[in-house]
Amino acid sequence: MPLDRMLLEILACPEDKGPLFYLEDESSLYNPRLRRVYRVEDDIPIMLIDEADEVDENEHKRIIEKVESDGISFTFEA
């Protein structure tokens, strides 16, 4: 089940307070500025910095290509 649109509009990275990309089919939220992935488990975003996964250059490129090809937009406009 996708995250509620109203929730997505207020979700921000807990570290830099910036918007995220919601990758629904991967159950994650991605911060391209810090290259950090936050998991979504049972429709609950895990927005803890210590629980986030940092991605390498190849994974970052893959995610950005997916964002661009799927037309995914940020959770909110900064």
For residue 75, count CB atoms less than 10 angstroms from its CB and return exposed for 0-12, middle for 13-18, buried for 19 or more.
buried
Q: Is 57 helix (H, G, I), strand (E, B) or coil?
A: helix
34 within domain boundaries: yes
CB 61, CB 28: distance < 8 Å: no
Q: Among residues 44, 23, 24, which one has the least CA distance to residue 32?
A: 23
Q: What is the pLDDT of residues 21-33, one digit of tens each?
A: 999 999 999 999 9
What's 63's domain CATH number? Answer: 2.20.25.10
CA distance linking residue 65 with residue 58, whole number of Å: 11
- Return the pLDDT at 77: 87
- Return the pLDDT at 2: 81
- Indicate if the pLDDT at residue 6 is higher than 80: yes
- Indicate if the pLDDT at residue 78 is higher than 90: no
28 within domain boundaries: yes
Host domain of residue 17: 5-70
76 within domain boundaries: no
Average pLDDT over residues 17-44: 97
Averaged pLDDT score across all residues of the chain: 95
- Return the pLDDT at 22: 96
Q: Which helix (H) or strand (E) holds 22?
A: strand 21-23
